[in-house]
Amino acid sequence: WNETVELFRARMPLRKHRCRFKSYERCFTAAEAVDWLHELLRCNQNFGPEVTRKQTVQLLKKFLKNHVIEDIKGKWGQEDFEDNRHLYRFPPSSPLKPYPKKPTYPKDVIKFPEWNDPPPGTSQENIPVRPVVMVSNSEVWYKRHSIAIGEVPACRLVYRRQLTESNVEDIWKSMTLSYLQKVLGLDSLEEVLDSKLVNSKFIIHNVYSVSKQGVVILDDKSKELPHWVLSAMKCLANWPNCSDMKQPMYLGFEKDVFKTIADYYGHLKEPLLTFHLFDAFVSVLGKLEYI
């Protein structure tokens, strides 16, 4: 709606009109507003060509009631808008409502160590440095000064700490929790799950150990899904555009496939969700339903 109001205020043609022997600058008739706004709504993807002229008049009545427009004498709110030659104008101030803003979230769930800190037991002053002597008229001296004119500051060693496996796991875990927190729109994940239960090794495995079909490759091959279950799930995921799989297309076929998959999962000894994360998933679903 903000977009429609913005376009209407910015592009509606305004010109001089006469009414009862008096001229009014930068205004438009009701019929002109209906013509222009009707065409705008018909070409807008949020509305479409099925919008009628009567619906456009109803929208302009809303605009008049909410002071998007006013009549030429500055009246609005109680007046009724009709498809006629009555004159209207835009008020000086825009009635646009402010766009909703997402709440701010903490940047990091887990505090990382400072990577720039030098390893313990090292000191800049105790590192031996071989002095370089350059004669003022030597070729080396001219090459150096052709690059940097003037005094060259003393060189200092810059440490680049190598990330350990533990550092990488902490980063994956922190970014995953931060993204989950952002999606749910929460200031904290304390009500949803205990972050100590999140295993960063599982996150990394689910990201990198993926087949070409997008299925996670398990270390224990005995726990992988049977091929026919994966094929059935793929068929449903692409339904009804799965003609390339040469599946039968009788009425109710997709329901039979879904029932087959449901029966397989229904006879498993354990739930699909791990027990210690069951509460977390239920809490997330509850939060999303509330939102």
CATH of 1-89, one of 1.10.10.10, 3.65.10.10, 3.60.20.10, 1.10.3720.10: 1.10.10.10
Contacts of 88 by beta carbon, 8 Å cutoff, 6+ apart: 27, 28, 29, 30, 33, 64, 69, 70, 71, 72
In DSSP terms, 23 is beta-bridged to 18
Burial 267-291 (b: 16+ CB within 10 A, else e): eeeeeeeeeeeeebeeebeeeeeee
CB 55 within 8 A of CB 63: no
Q: Show me where the domains of the chain are located.
A: 1-89, 164-220, 225-290
Q: Which residues of the chain have pLDDT under 50?
A: 107-108, 129
The residue type at 194? D
At residue 39, the pLDDT reads 92
At residue 6, the pLDDT reads 85
What SS3 class is residue 163?
Answer: coil
Question: Which residue, 74, 109, 102, 77, is CA-closest to 88?
Answer: 74
Question: How far apart, in whole angstroms, are the C-alpha atoms of residue 178 and residue 110?
Answer: 9
CB 73 within 8 A of CB 58: no
CA distances (Å), origin 278, targets 114, 197, 288, 291? 35, 11, 16, 20
CB 277 within 8 A of CB 284: no
Question: How far apart, in whole angstroms, are the C-alpha atoms of residue 207 and residue 158?
Answer: 33
pTM value is: 0.36
Q: Characterise 48 by phi-psi region: left (phi > 0), alpha (psi -120 to 50), beta (else).
A: left
